[in-house]
Structure formats: structure tokens, C-alpha cells
Amino acid sequence: MMKAKSDLRSLIRNLKGQYSDEEKRRLSAAALKSLENDSHFLKASSVVAYYSLPDEVDTHDFLEKWRERKRLFLPKVEGQSLSLHPYLGMPFMQSGAFGIMEPSTPAVANADAMDLIIVPGMAFTADGKRLGRGKGFYDRFLAGLPPHKYIIGLAFPFQMVENMPTEPTDVQMNRVIFK
């Protein structure tokens, strides 16, 4: 199963490479517009998001747009876990594990209070299966949340696949937004 997952990651990486930065910006804008119109996002006052890597749906402008209107939180890698930290803007960001920009703000104690969780992935299925980068950080984090938490995967259209191998530790999304 691990081989199948690594093959799928390679396929998606190759697909990502076929799109220009401009095309990825356009696709990101479309996905984020759909997210902003989602009823769960509209109702949420506290949102866990992510600071995108260059090959993910670009959340940088989205975070700036919404940081004054919603309480935004970003994950930070700590050992083998993710902790949540308030997003207060770029002056409070620093390069962290794996070169990912992370908040320098103190961690929040209770992720249970978050209304909505938005996560990236390498690939998704329409019914909410998610393939991550292979380290399991998000699966461990999401598995620790109460089962009623609403989780949205955010993806480019070419990251959608018909099916993928899964394991019992994989956490399913409630919805995947890809356009």
C-alpha cells in the first residue's frame, strides 16, 4: 500500500509541475472563492487554516484578507505533532520545520474550540479521502479532534482522483473544495 501511495504522490507532483505559477494562482483563487461561499466557513468564527507551500492552493492572501474578520489559527510542527497558533500576520511568522512558514505566537491549548479545519493534501477523492505528504502530521492531529469537527480539504482540480489506498489511521474530510 505504501508503494501505491508513493506512486500517487509522484503522479500528483508531476501534474503540479505541468501548471504555471499563474495557472496555479488562478486555480487557487477559484478554490478559495468556493471556500469563502461555503456555509461552514461563513458560520465559523475560529478557523484552522494553513500557510501554503508553493505547490499547494495558495492561502497567503486569503489569510491576510480574513485575519481581521475571523480568528485564524495555523499549525506548527513540534516533534511528531502539530500545535495550533494564532495567525496575526506576516510579522509573526518564521521559517519552521521542513522550511514551512509557521507562527511565532504561543500555542493555543484547546483545538476543540475551533469551528472549522481547512487542510491541504497531495490528493483527494470526491468522498473525502485524503493523501498527505507521507509523514502523518495531519492525520495524527485530526484524529485527536472530536468526531463532530468539520474538516474541509482544499485542492487543485488535478489533485482529485477516483480512488486511493487508505489505512485505518487516515482521517476523512467532510468536504473537498477543488474549484
Round the CA-based radius of gyration of the chain to a whole number and report it.
15
**99 φ/ψ sector (left φ>0, alpha ψ -120 to 50, else beta):** left
pLDDT of res. 145: 86
pLDDT (tens, 9 = 90+) of the chain, 179 residues, equals: 667 999 999 999 999 999 999 999 999 999 999 999 999 999 999 999 999 999 999 999 999 999 999 999 999 999 999 999 999 999 999 999 888 899 999 998 777 789 999 999 999 999 999 999 989 999 999 998 887 889 999 999 999 999 998 988 899 999 999 98
- How many separate domains does the chain show? 1
Domain CATH for 138: 3.40.50.10420
Domain residues for 111? 2-177
What's at 82, amino acid-wise?
Answer: L
> What is the H or E stretch that residue 43 is in?
helix 39-43
Task: Find the angle CA(171)-CA(78)-CA(84) to the nearest 5 degrees.
Answer: 65
At 80 the three-state DSSP class reads coil
